[in-house]
A and B are shown apart, each in its own frame.
Chain A
Amino acid sequence: MRILSLVRITLLMFYRRKALWIASIPLALFALFLAYASPMSPGFSNTDGLVFTGQVLAMFTPLAYAASFSDLMTAGRRTGMDELESTSPLPMAVIRSAHVLGAWVICISSSLLFLVLIAVHQAFKGNGKAILVALAVALVILSPSMLIAMGISALLGALLPTIVARILAVLAWAWLAFYTPLLPLPTLNGGPLAVIGDPIAQGWFHTDPIYAPANGPFTVQSGVISLLWQACIILLLFTGANIASNHIKAQV
């Protein structure tokens, strides 16, 4: 119960960061426009469109989140809140998880809102599964991407000077999301380890992937592997960020 209360308060804390909300809405709108205007776009009128929109949101909006969450694990050090939190009987990892959850809710809300709006429109046009698909896309495609971008940002922010961390986090995400397999440099895109939801989109929702798979179409299993892989990365990134920020705190 105490953890739930903590999550509730953290959500409230992030809910009150109105400026962040307001900035994230145009960001989601830009991504929505790109999803609509892209030559690959199947439009907004069917399930394929919902999945594609989710993927475009999962590619573009994390760019901004990678830039803005480099102090996710270290902001408390500046304000002295981390000392206060360290004296709590709750493990620091739980407190930090609540912070991550609060930030994630803000990040996903505007994108989720637009996905659901499209789904409601589709539901009125007779696509009964649209709302469920929208929620599933938000959960299995959008959320992992956002959490990975935030995790990269938090880890680099705990290890490097803020400005360097922000720039590197954006570049790291840009490499993960946009680096095409057509160039002779290593990339995760086109394989089951891609972090922009291609294996899940094709394996589970039977849509066309953004980057053509290197070894035949993605299957249901590819989707499962992709999701587990992303969960592992998220866990590793935030654990790393937590350890790094504790280590730095111990040095100060």
Chain B
Amino acid sequence: MAFVGIQLKRLYRLVLLPFILTAGVLLAGFVLESIWSLRRIRPVMMVLTQVPVIAAGLSTAFVLNGDPIVELAESTPTGWRKVQVTRLLIITGAFLAAAGLLFTGLHMMRLWPRDMGWVSIVTPVGSIFIVNCLVFLIAVLTTSMPTSSLASIAIWLFLCFIWDPYITDPVRQRLIPLFIAAAGAIFGWNMCGDAERNVVRVAAL
């Protein structure tokens, strides 16, 4: 628990970020609801509900790259992989919780875009899970923050503009990418266990 606690202490600002974003979007929805028609609010909400997904990917890229003490962490019984995965879980957990709150709020205000009932919660939650798992893989592969950030946007672009508009059923929409993302994360998990690779890659940067 102390280990999770110390990671949480290091990341607390980023853990707060999704909740601040959620509050901002909900507030925007609340204000707009009273001044604009639903037809006008919807396109704005379509953009605003994507902000947490973008922020999740970029935050994960930020958290998983650029740590200067990889070699030191590998020399301890904890190891680098546990550090990385704990950080991934903390940041993903925070964004998932915030996404749940965001959906609940907008669903109750009837502002969630393409709302098909409570099942639509899988759309934001799934997006965040998929983006974060794949960013974890990219971060392990490249150990580069710019590349991981770029990849996080590319993954989001794919989901938001290429995948989601064509696969509209919320469950089918998320199931296949979820499997791919989980497989990517497992691959990243295995690769991250290679202490030599971690140390040599960071030393070579």
Distance, CA A12 to CA B161, complexed state (A) = 34
Distance, CA A68 to CA B23, complexed state (A) = 26
Q: A20-B144, A34-B161, A69-B146 are in contact. Are A64 and B54 (CB under 8 A)?
A: no
Is A84 close to B, CB under 8 A? no
- B-side contacts of A170, CB under 8 Å: 54, 58, 153
Is A171 close to B, CB under 8 A? yes
Q: A34-B162, A68-B147, A183-B44 are in contact. Are A27 and B55 (CB under 8 A)?
A: no
- B-side contacts of A99, CB under 8 Å: none
- A-side contacts of B153, CB under 8 Å: 27, 63-64, 67-68, 170
Q: A19-B142, A167-B55 are in contact. Are A64 and B150 (CB under 8 A)?
A: yes
Which residue on chain A has the smallest CB distance to residue B153? A64
Residues 20-70 of A contacting B (Cβ, < 8 Å): 20, 23-24, 26-27, 30-31, 33-34, 37, 60, 63-65, 67-69
- A-side contacts of B59, CB under 8 Å: 163
Q: A34-B162, A170-B54 are in contact. Are A20 and B47 (CB under 8 A)?
A: no
The answer on a CB contact under 8 Å between B162 and A67 is no
Q: A67-B58, A166-B58 are in contact. Are A23 and B150 (CB under 8 A)?
A: yes
Which residue on chain A has the smallest CB distance to residue B63? A163
The answer on a CB contact under 8 Å between A68 and B150 is yes
Least CB distance, B43 to chain A, in whole angstroms: 7
Is A204 close to B, CB under 8 A? no
Is A178 close to B, CB under 8 A? yes
Q: A27-B150, A174-B47, A183-B40 are in contact. Are A60 and B161 (CB under 8 A)?
A: yes
Is A162 close to B, CB under 8 A? yes
The answer on a CB contact under 8 Å between B154 and A26 is yes
The answer on a CB contact under 8 Å between A167 and B54 is yes
Is B128 close to A, CB under 8 A? no
Is A198 close to B, CB under 8 A? no
Which residue on chain A has the smallest CB distance to residue B156? A63
Is A71 close to B, CB under 8 A? yes
- B-side contacts of A184, CB under 8 Å: 40
Is A219 close to B, CB under 8 A? no
Q: A60-B157, A162-B62, A170-B58 are in contact. Are A183 and B43 (CB under 8 A)?
A: yes
- A-side contacts of B162, CB under 8 Å: 30, 33-34, 37
Is B141 close to A, CB under 8 A? yes
The answer on a CB contact under 8 Å between A23 and B151 is yes
Is B149 close to A, CB under 8 A? yes
- B-side contacts of A239, CB under 8 Å: none
Is B51 close to A, CB under 8 A? yes
Q: A64-B157, A163-B62 are in contact. Are A71 and B146 (CB under 8 A)?
A: yes
- B-side contacts of A178, CB under 8 Å: 47
The answer on a CB contact under 8 Å between A67 and B150 is yes
Q: Mark B40-76, 1 if CB is under 8 A from A, else 0.
A: 1001100100010011001100100000000000000
Distance, CA A64 to CA B57, complexed state (A) = 11
Distance, CA A171 to CA B149, complexed state (A) = 14
- A-side contacts of B161, CB under 8 Å: 30, 34, 60
Distance, CA A12 to CA B157, complexed state (A) = 29
Interface residues of B (CB under 8 A from A): 14, 17, 40, 43-44, 47, 51, 54-55, 58-59, 62, 138, 141-142, 144-147, 149-154, 157-158, 161-162
Known contacts A166-B149, A183-B44; 20 further A-B pairs (Cβ under 8 A) = A19-B144, A20-B146, A20-B150, A23-B138, A23-B147, A27-B154, A33-B162, A63-B153, A63-B157, A67-B152, A68-B146, A68-B150, A68-B153, A71-B145, A162-B145, A163-B14, A163-B17, A163-B59, A167-B54, A174-B47
A-B contact pairs, 29 of them (CB 8 A): A19-B141, A20-B144, A23-B154, A27-B153, A30-B154, A30-B161, A30-B162, A34-B161, A60-B157, A63-B157, A64-B154, A67-B58, A67-B152, A68-B147, A68-B153, A71-B146, A163-B14, A163-B59, A163-B62, A166-B149, A167-B54, A167-B55, A170-B54, A170-B58, A170-B153, A171-B54, A180-B43, A183-B40, A183-B43
Interface residues of A (CB under 8 A from B): 17, 19-20, 23-24, 26-27, 30-31, 33-34, 37, 60, 63-65, 67-69, 71, 162-163, 166-167, 170-171, 174, 178, 180, 183-184
